[in-house]
């Protein structure tokens, strides 16, 4: 729906209409949008995501690659960044949420809540630039650009992705921590929790053995949403740090009107979101079998 297309972007404003029409026909852009979409869906069903427009030029040279070739390393980079962030963010958010519920209304709880509210209210790109300012520009501890390379060792890749991973961690920990805290506090008012307290069980045991198992369903859901964000919503962070992931690839493809690449990235984002939410629903049913039976 954006004005212009790849043919016009490559040939420029001064190109003759006949030249533009011939180039668009070569790319298949002369066909109606619904025809191109149906052809693309048919290719997806056979595992063919099509050819990227990148590499084509007005002189007739065609050095384009398949969309899967472009996505291969980019998807690995995004999954590496998401995995790094999840390994830190999920345990940290669970620990903070459980301890905040355990020491509810204490100074510790209020500090944690104030910090997470501040983090939630701050856009990702602003958090990223603040981290770059302190840890890269002023102190020079980490690189400001996460330009990873397939030839990098694991340690080198880990070092280059510290800042984008820290940015994502600060963003998603706040959501998961607050949901964990709210789910546990909501269950603490249940009759079986009061009975456990009357038996003399400590507060820590009440939360860990009685409240937490029943709180896994909402916690798993919010964790799934945030893990999906690590793949789907990582676009802004990848652009700020020039990280060669799927998000950066999609932004570049939109800029050059490379429609097949944009469509493939959208499929990956949608598929990730659906699969993770399905896993969250399954975890919720496993941890709470009552969901399988009608009331």
- pLDDT, residue 22, reads 82
User: Is residue 152 a part of any domain in this protein?
Assistant: yes
Residue 263 exposed, middle or buried by CB count within 10 Å (0-12, 13-18, 19+): buried
Whether 172 and 226 have beta carbons less than 8 Å apart is answered as yes
Whether 134 and 174 have beta carbons less than 8 Å apart is answered as no
User: Is residue 188 a part of any domain in this protein?
Assistant: yes
Is pLDDT above 70 for 53? Answer: yes
- pLDDT, residue 280, reads 81
Is pLDDT above 80 for 212? Answer: no
* Beta bridge mates, 51: 66
**Among candidates 75, 237, 55, which has minimal Cα distance to 150?**
75
- Dihedral sign computed on CA atoms, order 140, 142, 148, 149: positive
pLDDT-based confidence at residue 144 (cuts at 50, 70, 90): confident
User: Is residue 80 a part of any domain in this protein?
Assistant: yes
pLDDT-based confidence at residue 163 (cuts at 50, 70, 90): very high
Whether 97 and 179 have beta carbons less than 8 Å apart is answered as yes
- CA distances to 92, 181, 190, 203, 258 from 206, rounded to whole Å, are 20, 14, 11, 5, 55
User: Is residue 254 a part of any domain in this protein?
Assistant: yes
User: Is residue 48 a part of any domain in this protein?
Assistant: no
Q: How far apart are CA 218 and CA 291, in angstroms?
A: 13
User: Is residue 173 a part of any domain in this protein?
Assistant: yes
Average pLDDT score over residue span 133-142: 90
pLDDT in tens, 218-250: 788 888 888 888 887 788 898 899 899 898 899
User: Is residue 205 a part of any domain in this protein?
Assistant: yes
Helix, strand, coil tally for the chain in percent (to 5): 75, 0, 25
Total domains present in the chain: 1
- pLDDT, residue 80, reads 92
User: Is residue 223 a part of any domain in this protein?
Assistant: yes
Lookup: tokens for 125: 């790109």
pTM for this entry = 0.82
The boundaries of the domain holding residue 92 are: 74-292
pLDDT in tens, 4-30: 667 777 776 777 777 778 877 877 778
Place of tokens 């995995």: 83
Q: What is the CATH number of the domain that holds 267?
A: 1.10.3720.10
């Amino acid at each position: 729906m954006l004005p212009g297309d790849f043919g016009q972007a490559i040939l420029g404003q001064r190109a003759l209409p006949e030249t533009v029409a011939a180039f668009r026909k070569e790319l298949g852009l002369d066909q109606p949008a619904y025809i191109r979409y149906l052809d693309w869906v048919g290719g997806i069903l056979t595992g063919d995501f099509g050819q990227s427009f990148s590499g084509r030029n007005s002189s007739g040279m065609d050095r384009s690659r398949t969309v899967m070739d472009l996505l291969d390393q980019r998807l690995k980079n995004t999954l590496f960044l998401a995995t790094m962030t999840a390994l830190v963010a999920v345990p940290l958010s669970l620990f903070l949420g459980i301890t905040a519920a355990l020491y509810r209304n204490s100074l510790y709880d209020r500090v944690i809540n104030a910090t997470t509210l501040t983090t939630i209210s701050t856009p990702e790109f602003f958090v990223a630039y603040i981290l770059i300012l302190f840890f890269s520009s002023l102190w020079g501890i980490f690189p400001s650009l996460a330009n990873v390379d397939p030839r990098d060792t694991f340690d080198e890749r880990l070092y280059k992705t510290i800042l984008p991973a820290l940015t994502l961690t600060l963003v998603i920990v706040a959501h998961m921590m607050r949901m964990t805290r709210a789910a546990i506090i909501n269950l603490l008012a249940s009759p079986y929790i009061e009975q456990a307290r009357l038996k003399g069980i400590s507060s820590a045991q009440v939360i860990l053995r009685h409240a937490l198992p029943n709180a896994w369903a909402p916690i798993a859901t919010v964790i799934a949403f945030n893990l999906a964000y690590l793949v789907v919503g990582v676009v802004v962070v990848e652009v700020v740090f020039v990280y060669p992931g799927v998000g950066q690839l999609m932004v570049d493809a939109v800029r050059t009107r490379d429609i097949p690449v944009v469509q493939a990235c959208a499929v990956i984002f949608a598929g990730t979101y659906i699969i993770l939410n399905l896993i969250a629903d399954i975890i919720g049913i496993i941890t709470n079998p009552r969901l399988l039976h009608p009331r």
